[in-house]
């Protein structure tokens, strides 16, 4: 008996931004774009490094969606958030022979991702035993379920992401040299938002349209002065932090309070008139629907 999983792992085309949003216009992100283009039609593993919130998952989804695997599942797993024994079962599946119910089979994410992409976050948190099993999958394209004996063939692309330099784990002997070498098929490093501030206006327009659709609101028309204020901030939380700011604009319509807090965070308005002024209404504007599908880079 095989476990019936009701989860869906198919990417909604509306989730995928254009190449201009993903990569922007800086030279550093231009190098990332070139490597992603080179990775589209091969099966080499990809290692995406970057600070928290820089868009590692978005880059992985973009790669999957623009490749020939676009019509197959995109499956992700956070290795740091999953305990070791459960991590092995989640990845490779499990076989248990229950006396009352017969063979119970749990499909792993490798099997669910067949034909598509398996995205592993914080790969450095795996045990050495599990690293060896992942290495075997990368090298031979085969695996066995936990407690199982049958070797199974896998057609899946592996994309890994991490916020740390894996060389430090290698030096500390928590990451095997063999797995490290296998993960370096294609390596890209995303830059923090503070190093690509010229991309902020275009990113904001994309996020405002996306969030407006998500929350059933109208997409705000952001003033040039707001863009300037947003570009003056260092954004330690990167794209994730910027998205949270834009969500506040879309939900609360407080473009003015956002502008003030970007420049002077923590400053509170005094008096009811000031409060009402800072929570002014959104300007009238239409929701940008945009294209439903991007395939080119």
- Please list the residue range(s) of the chain that carry CATH number 1.10.8.60: 194-278
- Distance in angstroms (rounded) separating the CA atoms of residues 120 and 1: 27
pLDDT (tens digit per residue) in 266-286: 433 333 333 233 333 323 333
> Could you tell me the pLDDT band of residue 258, with boundaries at 50, 70 and 90?
low
Q: What is the mean pLDDT of residues 78-96?
A: 86
Q: What are phi and psi of 5, to 5 degrees?
A: -95, 125
- Distance in angstroms (rounded) separating the CA atoms of residues 118 and 115: 10
Query: What is residue 125's predicted lDDT score, i.e. its pLDDT?
Result: 78
Residues 6+ apart with CB under 8 A from 124: 79, 162, 164, 166, 169, 174, 175
pLDDT (tens digit per residue) in 6-50: 345 777 887 899 999 999 999 999 999 999 999 998 999 999 999
- Please list the residue range(s) of the chain that carry CATH number 3.40.50.300: 13-191
> Could you tell me the pLDDT band of residue 228, with boundaries at 50, 70 and 90?
confident
Please report, for residues 35, 46, 74, 214, the alpha-carbon distance to residue 30 in angstroms, rounded to integers and kept in the order given.
9, 17, 24, 30
On average, the pLDDT of the chain sits at 80
Query: What is residue 294's predicted lDDT score, i.e. its pLDDT?
Result: 37
CATH architecture group of domain 13-191: 3-Layer(aba) Sandwich (3.40)
* Domain at 194-278, CATH class: mainly alpha
pTM: 0.80
Q: What are phi and psi of 78, to 5 degrees?
A: -90, 105
């Amino acid at each position: 008996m095989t476990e019936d999983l009701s989860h869906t792992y198919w990417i909604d085309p509306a989730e995928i931004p254009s190449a201009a949003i993903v990569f922007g216009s800086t030279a550093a992100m231009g190098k990332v774009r070139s490597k992603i283009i080179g990775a589209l039609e091969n099966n080499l593993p990809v290692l995406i490094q970057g600070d928290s919130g820089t868009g590692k998952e978005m880059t992985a989804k973009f790669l999957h969606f623009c490749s020939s695997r676009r019509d197959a599942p995109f499956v992700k797993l956070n290795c740091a958030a999953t305990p070791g024994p459960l991590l092995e079962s989640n990845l490779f599946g499990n076989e248990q022979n229950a006396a009352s119910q017969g063979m119970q089979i749990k499909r792993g994410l490798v099997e669910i991702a067949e034909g598509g992409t398996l995205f592993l976050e914080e790969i450095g948190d795996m045990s050495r035993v599990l690293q060896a099993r992942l290495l075997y999958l990368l090298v031979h394209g085969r695996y066995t379920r936990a407690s199982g004996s049958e070797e199974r063939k896998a057609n899946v692309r592996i994309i890994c992401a991490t916020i740390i330099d894996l060389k430090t784990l290698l030096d500390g002997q928590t990451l095997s040299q063999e797995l490290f070498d296998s993960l370096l098929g294609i390596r890209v490093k995303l830059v923090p938002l503070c190093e690509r501030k010229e991309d902020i206006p275009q990113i904001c327009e994309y996020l405002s349209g996306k969030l407006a659709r998500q929350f059933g609101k109208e997409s705000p028309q952001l003033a040039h002065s707001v863009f300037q204020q947003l570009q003056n901030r260092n954004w330690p939380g990167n794209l994730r932090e910027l998205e949270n700011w834009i969500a506040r604009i879309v939900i609360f319509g407080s473009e003015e309070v956002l502008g003030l807090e970007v420049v002077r965070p923590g400053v509170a308005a005094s008096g009811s008139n000031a409060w009402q002024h800072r929570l002014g209404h959104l300007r009238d504007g239409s929701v940008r629907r945009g294209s439903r599908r991007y395939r080119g880079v």
